[in-house]
């Protein structure tokens, strides 16, 4: 099922997404005057940081709610999916993406589109969920969903590839892989803890369930995770693993 977003909940419970993006921003190394596409811009907070470098930034996201939130921040944002970008060939010097590509359904179509809108020699710099990302969270939710008769709901929710697999996909779409790394990144959660994370980042899964079951599934998943992801003082840490890469359009 498709992911869905509540920008208010995302702002409350997902601030770490843009706050912890320093590494991938360094890899991008945006320069004044460059044309950059922020692919999967979310609520636009990271887009504003890109624009502050002096680059000319266009933002795009598939969620109408997130596009509205980005526009409310003054971001020039378009609504479109990554598999069908509404920009002419060779428009951008760089395409940037943070914490979005793992939601894309057809990566081959997306990579073809990114290659098309990049100038020759342009760079594609991104960070996404990598192999092993939120493994404990996924296993717990799979178990809870199966217990309630909803097997298969969590497994198809996102794509977390290995560096070798994604390097091959990039090369198949005429990119030269300059650097790629799998980066474990345990991520402290805010006061809403695991329950807030589940309701924000697994909203699509929860909303595919009957309404009376949503709170139960979220609560039981959090309860199952407490022994491994909550410390003795009640602080939660999500078991994130990121895949970060730089690829050059050939």
Query: What is the per-residue pLDDT for 3?
Result: 55
Query: What is the per-residue pLDDT for 98?
Result: 94
Radius of gyration, CA atoms only, the chain: 18
CA-to-CA separations, 147 to 2, 144, 213, 217, in angstroms, rounded: 22, 5, 12, 10
Task: List the chain domain ranges.
Answer: 7-134+159-189+237-249
How far is 67 from 173, CA to CA, in rounded Å?
A: 28
Chain segment 229-250, per-residue pLDDT in tens: 999 999 999 999 999 999 999 9
- The residues facing 105 across adjacent strands are none
Residue 192 C-beta-side C-alpha neighbours within 13 Å: 16
Query: What is the per-residue pLDDT for 152?
Result: 76
Chain segment 151-172, per-residue pLDDT in tens: 876 655 689 999 999 999 999 9
Fold of the domain built from segment(s) 7-134+159-189+237-249: Rossmann fold (3.40.50)
How far is 123 from 22, CA to CA, in rounded Å?
A: 18
Query: What is the per-residue pLDDT for 204?
Result: 84
Instruction: Judge whether 181 and 244 are in contact, CB under 8 Å.
Output: yes
Residue 163 burial by Cβ neighbours in a 10 Å radius (0-12, 13-18, 19+)? middle
Query: What is the per-residue pLDDT for 178?
Result: 98
Task: List the pLDDT tens digit at each of the 250 positions of the chain.
Answer: 455 555 555 555 445 455 556 689 999 999 999 999 999 999 899 999 999 999 999 999 999 998 999 999 999 999 999 999 999 999 999 999 999 999 999 999 999 999 999 999 999 999 999 999 999 999 999 999 999 999 876 655 689 999 999 999 999 999 999 999 999 999 999 999 999 999 988 888 898 899 999 999 999 999 999 999 999 999 999 999 999 999 999 9
3-state secondary structure the chain: CCCCCCHHHHHHHCCHHHHCCHHHHHHHCCCCCCEEEEECCCCCHHHHHHHCCCCEEEEEECCHHHHHHHHHCCCCEEECCCCCCCCCCCCEEEEEEECCHHHCCCHHHHHHHHHHHEEEEEEEEEEEECCCCCHHHHHHHHHHHHHCCCCCCCCCCCCCCCHHHHHHHHHHCCEEEEEEEEEEEEEECCCCHHHHHHHHHCHHHHHCCCHHHHHHHHHHHHHHHHHHHECCCCCEEEEEEEEEEEEEEC
Residue 66 C-beta-side C-alpha neighbours within 13 Å: 27
The rounded Cα 220 to chain-centroid distance in angstroms is 25
Instruction: Judge whether 152 and 142 are in contact, CB under 8 Å.
Output: no
């Amino acid at each position: 099922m498709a992911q869905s977003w509540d920008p208010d909940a995302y702002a409350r419970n997902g601030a770490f997404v843009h706050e912890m993006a320093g590494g991938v921003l360094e890899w991008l190394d945006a320069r004044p005057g460059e044309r950059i596409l922020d692919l999967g811009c979310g609520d636009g907070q990271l887009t504003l940081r890109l624009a502050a470098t002096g680059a000319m930034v266009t933002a795009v996201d598939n969620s109408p709610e997130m596009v509205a939130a980005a526009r409310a921040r003054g971001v020039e944002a378009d609504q479109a999916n990554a598999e069908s970008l509404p920009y002419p060939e060779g428009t951008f010097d760089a395409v940037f993406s943070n914490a979005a590509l793992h939601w894309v359904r057809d990566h081959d179509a997306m990579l073809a589109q990114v290659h098309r809108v990049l100038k020759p020699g342009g760079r594609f710099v991104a960070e996404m969920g990598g192999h092993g990302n939120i493994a404990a969270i996924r296993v717990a939710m799979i178990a809870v969903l199966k217990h309630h008769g909803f097997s298969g709901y969590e497994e198809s929710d996102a794509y977390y590839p290995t560096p070798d697999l994604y390097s091959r996909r990039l090369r198949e779409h005429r990119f030269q892989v300059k650097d790629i790394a799998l980066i474990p990144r345990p991520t402290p959660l805010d006061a809403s803890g695991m329950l807030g994370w589940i309701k924000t980042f697994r909203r699509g899964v929860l909303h595919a369930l009957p309404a009376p079951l949503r709170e139960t599934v979220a609560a039981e998943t959090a309860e199952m995770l407490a022994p491994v992801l909550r410390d003795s003082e009640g602080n939660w840490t999500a078991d994130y693993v990121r895949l970060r890469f730089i690829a050059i359009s050939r």
